[in-house]
């Protein structure tokens, strides 16, 4: 059991999710203050034994007048985890525009003779995060509270119902509608938009299903093989399951192994007869080769024959220097970027956050994803009027030791959004407590703050080998508090350096941070509501031990 916990904690440590908050104006930062009348409820939480050697930070500001409501080490650097995502997505939202759509074209290279193309089809990848794989009929982007990208790290991850190959199917039908029924040649993915950077997870110009194979195991009867379903089913990928169903209440422990090229996947282990379907994932090692085969297969379903073998490496050496004179025969258009921002922030989508760096770099004419950082720097200094030295960044998701934020800097950044026409759109792109995204996992019943906290949670956790306990490097939460009359406050609350003896202890730390946010929201209601009593601890909002960890 302990070895499984250690392995999972190593993975959780890479989740690196946190929250950032808006507040105040870009005026002078609040003065350092260990405590500023936090009140007995918050003080009691912060004084628990789990935090004996930890550091708390808290900053709440009324952005209407810049008044500091609560302040605790507002100018100190904190490990942010995915709080960084608010900075990254703020930069991308501004650089690209909330209504920006990625258009992925397909060009016909060669000669058209009737319905036959003698030559190649080239799909020119454009850094589209989902390629239609999450797009709902109304054009919005679908997500679940625990995203499939976390399936190997966090129990309870689920799939959205959309077909991950939907974008490629649309492209294939457009090619057929253009009059092409035969490609006497090949299909090529053009990946030259940017060079995949050395960060994890690594963004690529073409992304299908987050560059993952989904593996869903469903129990049957004890003693029988479990049922397996997997997607997207693309050659030459093959999946074999040796998972057995055991008696109700038994152990669910599923392991996934893959060949070096990722195309031969094997599942082994057990699943309890009364367990819910268990989702696991396997990495697509070569997104371009995968995308090429997936498009050839989609063309076949649409009635277009390709003479080249459907599997094999992507022949990108055959790509032309430019597509001048090569007609465009298809194009997939993405949902607007504000939908991608909502996805990235709600599920803490690490690949999407790192991809945002590349998207920003491309918007400046660069194929070096790290050129996204000057775009963020310019946004902070020239547009948001926020001192960039309040932050330290080396990736888009918050996964490296360099990454740091101050509560004051985040408050200033998010206060900026309240002064823009996109204020409501940006605020509602965050997880909503008890309602959406990772926020839906807390405050679900008998919780007065439900639907009134718009904020991003974050966690960095590992296993302390020396003391055989959990090291909770960061548990943070930040965003907007809405009073009953609609008045908004901005806040950051987080703790670095906590410790817990077991998983239940980690859950308790998670709940403590959330509980402080609930207390702050209820205080805001009391301040802006007639005769509202001061909030006391809402123990009914806490999750049972069986709940899942929020990224």
pLDDT at residue 2, as a whole number: 34
3-class SS at 209? helix
With a cut of 50, say whether residue 109 has pLDDT above it: yes
Cα(85)–Cα(401) distance, integer angstroms: 15
Cα(57)–Cα(76) distance, integer angstroms: 8
Q: With b meaning 16 or more CB within 10 Å and e meaning fewer, what string describes 200-210?
A: ebebbbbbbbb
CA-nearest of 96, 289, 288, 85 to 192 is 288
pLDDT at residue 36, as a whole number: 54
Q: Provide the token pair at 365.
A: 């004419």
> 496: which strand partners?
55, 474
pLDDT in tens, 215-273: 999 999 999 999 999 999 999 999 999 999 999 999 999 999 999 999 999 999 999 99
pLDDT at residue 551, as a whole number: 55
Q: Map tokens 């090529």 to a residue.
A: 188
Judge contact between 175 and 106, C-beta under 8 A: yes
Q: Please, what is the average pLDDT of the chain?
A: 90
Instruction: Map out the domains of the chain as residue ranges.
Output: 40-97+339-529, 103-335
Q: Which pTM was predicted?
A: 0.90
What CATH number belongs to 40-97+339-529? 3.40.710.10
For residue 477, the 8-state DSSP code is: E
Cα(492)–Cα(158) distance, integer angstroms: 29
- 197 vs 443, residue with greater confidence: 197
pLDDT in tens, 475-518: 988 899 999 999 999 999 999 999 999 988 988 998 999 999 99
CA-nearest of 18, 77, 51 to 471 is 51
With a cut of 60, say whether residue 5 has pLDDT above it: no
With a cut of 70, say whether residue 538 has pLDDT above it: no
Backbone angles phi, psi at 2, to 5 degrees: -65, -40
3-state helix, strand, coil in the chain (%, to 5): 30, 25, 45
Judge contact between 82 and 321, C-beta under 8 A: no
For residue 75, the 8-state DSSP code is: T
Q: Strand order of the sheet with strand 469-482?
A: 67-72, 55-62, 488-500, 469-482, 453-464
For residue 388, the 8-state DSSP code is: G
Positive or negative: CA dihedral 146, 149, 155, 158: positive
Between 224-228, 305-309, 318-322, 460-464, the lowest mean confidence (pLDDT) is in 460-464
pLDDT at residue 323, as a whole number: 97
């Amino acid at each position: 059991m302990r070895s499984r916990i250690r392995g999972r904690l190593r993975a959780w440590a890479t989740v690196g999710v946190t929250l950032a908050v808006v507040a105040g104006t870009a005026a002078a930062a609040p003065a350092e203050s260990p405590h500023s009348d936090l009140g007995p409820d918050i003080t009691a939480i912060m004084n628990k034994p789990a935090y004996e050697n930890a550091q708390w930070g808290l900053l709440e500001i009324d952005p209407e007048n810049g008044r500091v409501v609560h302040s605790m080490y507002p100018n100190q650097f904190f490990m942010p985890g995915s709080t960084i995502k608010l900075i990254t997505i703020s930069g991308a939202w501004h650089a690209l525009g909330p209504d920006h759509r990625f258009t992925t074209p397909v060009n016909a290279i060669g000669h058209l003779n009737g319905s036959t193309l003698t030559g190649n089809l080239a799909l020119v990848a454009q850094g589209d995060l989902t390629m239609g794989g999450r797009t709902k009929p109304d054009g919005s982007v679908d997500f679940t509270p625990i995203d499939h990208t976390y399936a190997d790290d966090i129990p309870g991850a689920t799939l959205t119902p959309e077909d991950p190959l939907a974008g490629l199917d649309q492209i294939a039908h457009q090619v057929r509608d253009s009059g092409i029924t035969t490609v006497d040649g090949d299909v090529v993915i053009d990946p030259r938009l940017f060079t995949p950077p050395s960060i994890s997870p690594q963004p690529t110009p073409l992304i299908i299903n987050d560059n993952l194979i989904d593996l869903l195991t469903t129990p049957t009867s004890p003693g029988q093989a479990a049922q397996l379903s997997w997607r997207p089913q693309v050659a030459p990928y093959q999946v074999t399951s040796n998972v057995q169903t055991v008696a109700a209440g038994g152990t669910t422990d599923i392991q996934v192994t893959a060949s070096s090229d990722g195309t031969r996947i094997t599942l082994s282990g057990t699943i309890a007869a009364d367990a819910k379907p268990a989702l696991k994932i396997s990495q697509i090692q070569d997104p371009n080769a995968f995308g090429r085969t997936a498009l050839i297969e989609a063309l076949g379903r649409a009635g277009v024959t390709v003479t080249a073998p459907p599997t094999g490496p992507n022949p990108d050496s055959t790509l032309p220097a430019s597509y001048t004179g090569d007609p465009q025969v298809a194009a997939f258009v993405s949902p607007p970027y504000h939908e991608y921002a909502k996805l990235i922030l709600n599920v803490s989508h690490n690949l999407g956050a790192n991809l945002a760096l590349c998207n920003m770099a491309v918007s400046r004419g660069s194929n070096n994803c790290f050129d996204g950082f000057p775009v963020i720097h310019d946004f902070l200094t020239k547009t948001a009027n926020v001192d960039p030295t309040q932050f330290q960044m080396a990736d888009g998701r918050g996964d490296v030791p360099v990454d740091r934020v101050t509560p004051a800097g985040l408050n200033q950044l998010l206060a900026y959004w309240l002064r823009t026409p996109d204020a409501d759109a940006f605020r509602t792109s965050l997880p909503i407590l008890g309602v959406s995204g990772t926020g839906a996992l807390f405050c679900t019943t008998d919780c007065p703050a439900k639907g009134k906290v718009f904020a991003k949670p974050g966690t960095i956790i590992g296993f302390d080998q020396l003391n055989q306990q959990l090291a909770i490097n960061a548990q943070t939460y930040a965003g907007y508090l809405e009073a009953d009359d609609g008045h908004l406050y901005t806040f950051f609350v987080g703790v670095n350096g906590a410790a817990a003896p077991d998983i239940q202890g980690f859950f308790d730390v998670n709940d403590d941070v959330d509980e402080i946010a609930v207390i702050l929201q209820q205080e805001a209601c009391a301040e802006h509501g007639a005769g509202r009593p001061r909030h006391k601890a809402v123990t009914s909002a806490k999750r049972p031990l069986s709940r899942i960890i929020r990224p």
